[in-house]
Amino acid sequence: MKLPGNGSLMTPPSLTKPGPAATDMAGRRPLWREDFSVHAAEDNYVLRRQFTKFLTLTSAGMLAGNIWIFLRSLFDWPHRQYPQTTVARSSEIAAGGVKLFRYPTENDPCILVRTRAGKLVAYSQKCTHLSCAVYYSAANNRLECPCHEGYFAIETGRVLQGPPPRPLPRIELEQRGEEIVAVGIPAGEHGA
Ligand code: FES
């Protein structure tokens, strides 16, 4: 293709050699060619290149995300350190009794229960469904969520009924003389 007064430009072969559809049987240029792009080959090439770029970037993003999750789990477990916090005195809680406390931070409400069998257990008080506060039902000997009737076993925190997807995170306890001390949360049970 010649440019007026400015030398020549390289022209894609698809433009210099029109295909069979470039003219009709009588050798006339069809009218539709006036309205539609004649750069279809170049357009397809650009689209393929963009699509390949998109796929590459998406794959790289997913790979980076998985590596991040893996590294986080490595550093989170078992090295996570929890405070050792006295949450009650043993004599405070009779069988079937309850005490609320916060652990490991002030933003984490928890519930301590002495079961009817006399065992001390503690859990995060946030329901694993939508974080409503669970309470101890002495009559049913289980933890209950009032929002959507989610029930949890008092001995283990496992889901007995309702929409909660996971057991309640347990708080590990140690009895040191009269004091009941919260010492950690088992790996994989952090937060609701
Ligand atoms: S928030 Fe507890 S069952 Fe829905």
Res 133: pLDDT: 98
Q: 145: CA distance to ligand 1 center in Å?
A: 6
Question: Mind listing the pLDDT tens digit of every residue in the chain (192 residues)?
Answer: 444 444 444 444 444 444 555 566 777 766 666 666 666 667 677 777 788 888 888 888 888 887 887 776 666 555 578 999 999 999 999 999 999 999 999 999 999 999 988 999 999 999 999 999 999 999 999 999 999 999 999 999 999 999 999 999 999 999 999 999 999 999 877 654
Round to whole Å and give the CA distance between 100 and 105: 13
- Identify whether the C-beta of residue 84 lies closer than 8 Å to the C-beta of residue 182: yes
Cβ 147 under 6 angstroms from ligand 1? yes
Round to whole Å and give the CA distance between 192 and 173: 19
What is the Cβ-side half-sphere exposure of residue 1, based on CA atoms within 13 angstroms?
10
Res 62: pLDDT: 85
Res 75: pLDDT: 62
Is the domain covering 85-184 a CATH 2.102.10.10 domain?
yes
What is the separation, in whole angstroms, between the first and last Cα of the chain? 69
Q: 163: CA distance to ligand 1 center in Å?
A: 7
Res 97: pLDDT: 95
- Identify whether the C-beta of residue 160 lies closer than 8 Å to the C-beta of residue 151: yes
**DSSP at 4:** T
Q: 160: CA distance to ligand 1 center in Å?
A: 12
- The residues with which 175 forms a beta bridge, in sequence order, are 180
**DSSP at 21:** G
Q: 110: CA distance to ligand 1 center in Å?
A: 16
**Residue whose CA is closest, atom 1 of ligand 1?**
130
Q: Position 149: which residue type?
A: E
Atom of ligand 1 nearest to the CA of 132: 1
Cβ 126 under 6 angstroms from ligand 1? no
Cβ 133 under 6 angstroms from ligand 1? no
Atom of ligand 1 nearest to the CA of 128: 2
Res 4: pLDDT: 47
Res 9: pLDDT: 47
CA separation, residue 167 to residues 123, 129, 154, 170 (Å): 10, 10, 11, 9
